[in-house]
Amino acid sequence: MENKLQGLCVIAITPFAENGSLDEESLRSLVDFYIGRGVHGLTILGIMGEAHKILESERQQVLDIVMKQNAGRVPVVVGCTANSTNVAIHLAQKAEQGGAAAVMVAPPQNVKNEALLLQHFTTIAESISIPIVLQDEPVTTGVILTPDFIAHLANSIPAIQYVKLEEAPTPVKVTKILEKTDQLEIFGGLGGGSFYEELARGASGIMTGFAFPEILVKVYDLFTSGQQEEARAYFYKHLPLIRFEFQLGIGGVAIRKETFKLRGAIQSSHVRAPAAPLDTKTMDEFKELVHYLGVTL
C-alpha cells in the first residue's frame, strides 16, 4: 500500500450504541462502507469522530479495530491534538505503534505565540517517525495559522508534510501557502463546500466527513484524470447536499450519523452528550433533497 496521502481521506465518525457505549460492530461496518465507496484514506479520532468525548481506553479500541478491519487497504491518519505537548506526544506515539500512516495535530487551544507553537510541533515531530498533518482549525482552537507561519512550520519541520485547512476561504489560502512553500501537500475541509476550487488551486485532496464520500471521490477522480469540466459539473450538481449536511448550527455530527444510519453503515445515530437532537423537519428536508438530486442512500 502506498502511504502517501491524497484524494479523500475521509474524517470518520465514531459509532456509539444507543446507551452511549462504543459500537465495535458498527465501526467495522463503517470502515468497509468507506473503503467500498472508494475513499483514498481514513482519518480517525478527529473532531467529527468526537475524540473529545472518548476515553483513552476507547481511543485505543478505535485505533485497533480500524487498523485490523482496514487490513492495510488505505492509509490511516490518527488525530492526536492535545493542549499539552506531552499528551500529544503520547497520543502520536500510540498512533504510530498502532500502524498509523500519519498523525493529525492542531495547535493547543488559544496558544497564539508562534515561538511556542514551533516548539510544540518540533517536539512532537522529534518523538515519532511518521508524517504530521498540520490541522488549521481556528474555530475550535482559537488559533489562526497564517500562510506565512504554516510555510515556516513546514520549512522548519520536515515531518510536517501535509496541512488540512479549515479557515475560510480555503481556496485563497491554498494559493497563498503554495506561493510560500513547496514542502506541503494541502487538503481542504469545511465539509467539502469548496472542493473543486481547492483542487483547481493546487490542493492534493480533502479531509471531511461528508456522508456521501463516493461523490467527492468521483470529483477527485474526474479532476485528476484531466476531466476538469466534468468534475466541476458533477461537484456543482451535488453542492446543495454538501451545503445542507454541513450545518454546524444544528449539529453536523448528528446529521452525518443519521445519514450513515439511513445508509446502513451504522446501527445507531447516537451522539455523546452534550449534543442537540435533530428535529424531524430537518431530516424531512434532507430526504427531500436526496430524492430531488437522485442520490442513492
DSSP class per residue in 37-92: TT-SEEEESSTTTTGGGS-HHHHHHHHHHHHHHHTTSS-EEEE---SSHHHHHHHH
Name the CATH superfamily for 7-236.
Answer: Aldolase class I (3.20.20.70)
What does the pLDDT read at residue 250? 53
What does the pLDDT read at residue 239? 97
Number of H helices, E strands in the chain: 12, 8
For the cut 90, the answer to whether the pLDDT of residue 276 exceeds it is no
Task: Tell me the pLDDT tens digit for each residue of 10-59.
Answer: 999 999 999 999 999 999 999 999 999 999 999 999 999 999 999 999 99
Asked if 1 contacts 73 with a C-beta cutoff of 8 angstroms, the reply is yes
Average pLDDT over residues 240-254: 82
> Cα-Cα-Cα-Cα dihedral of 155, 88, 137, 236, to 10°?
90
For the cut 50, the answer to whether the pLDDT of residue 184 exceeds it is yes
Average pLDDT over residues 249-255: 75
**1 confidence band (pLDDT: 50, 70, 90):** very low
Percent of the chain with pLDDT over 70: 98
Alpha helices in 98-249 (DSSP H): 114-127, 138-141, 147-156, 170-178, 195-201, 213-224, 228-245
Asked if 166 contacts 134 with a C-beta cutoff of 8 angstroms, the reply is no
SS3 state of residue 163: strand
What does the pLDDT read at residue 2? 59
Q: Model pTM?
A: 0.97
Average pLDDT over residues 193-198: 97
What does the pLDDT read at residue 277? 82
What does the pLDDT read at residue 98? 98
